[in-house]
Amino acid sequence: MSDNKVYKIDCHTHPLSHSYYPGYCTRKELTNSDKRNIETIIKQGIERKLDAIAITDHNICTSGIYGKEYVKENKLPIVVVPGCECSVFFDNTEIHILALGITKAFDLTKDDPISQVITSIHGASGIAILAHPHYYSDLYPKLIKYVDGFEYYNGVNAVIYPGNEYFTLFDADKEKCIKTWGSDYHMTNMLLEEQRKAVVKISKENAPALWNRIRLAAK
């Protein structure tokens, strides 16, 4: 990885979600079919000319960890950033937190308080990103205090809410340096045009924390 390069990364994908979503992934071990689905989303990332792709299935860490091993073993021209989309309840609302750049799996239960989930993410060397914050924009001022950054652009929600008026709210937040873009891609056989555009360009200067996680994942 070059220190001077700008990296294109999709920070939010779900290679396995068609097998459990809506709902939670309860299995810990990957099936052969799971592995093929992870490999497919990585190959699509190469076709999209991404430098890196985060794998962030719902409440399971092993798919991203497998993806990282797979690209290294096969010397593929892309970095997999292992992650997880963690569900937590906050003020009786289900909130999703993306863990990005984890170095080990951690356990999650639906009832974990947000502070504990953030501690688990940081304990696995990951960063914590508030996913699709406009779902819970009334809670955003409280939630943003817990996380390292937030998802500025979400490919699914760009389709559902094409106006994206919530950007005004997020642009006003100067405190958090990490603003991610992600496709939130749920089906291995269908990637919409808006989701293809959901890529964030990062460098060592403009997002050092995320850049460091990509560098770690490339090792």
Residues that bind Zn ion (CB under 5 A): 85, 96, 131, 184
Please, which residue, 10 or 85, has the CB nearer to Zn ion? 85
Please, which residue, 39 or 85, has the CB nearer to Zn ion? 85
Spatial separation of the C-alpha atoms in residues 121 and 84, rounded to whole Å: 9
CB of 159 to Zn ion, least distance (A): 13
CB of 87 to Zn ion, least distance (A): 8
CB of 41 to Zn ion, least distance (A): 13
Residues in the chain: 219
Determine the residue with CB nearest Zn ion: 96
- In the β-sheet with 149-154, what is the strand arrangement from edge to edge? 178-182, 149-154, 127-130, 93-100, 79-90, 52-55, 7-10, 200-202
CB of 15 to Zn ion, least distance (A): 11
Could you write out the DSSP letters of every residue in 193-212?
Answer: HHHHT--EEE-TTT-HHHHH
Please, which residue, 70 or 135, has the CB nearer to Zn ion? 135
Please, which residue, 51 or 85, has the CB nearer to Zn ion? 85
Please, which residue, 96 or 213, has the CB nearer to Zn ion? 96
For residue 8, the cross-strand partners are 201
**217 backbone dihedrals φ, ψ, rounded to 5°:** -65, -25
Spatial separation of the C-alpha atoms in residues 212 and 218, rounded to whole Å: 10
CB of 148 to Zn ion, least distance (A): 17
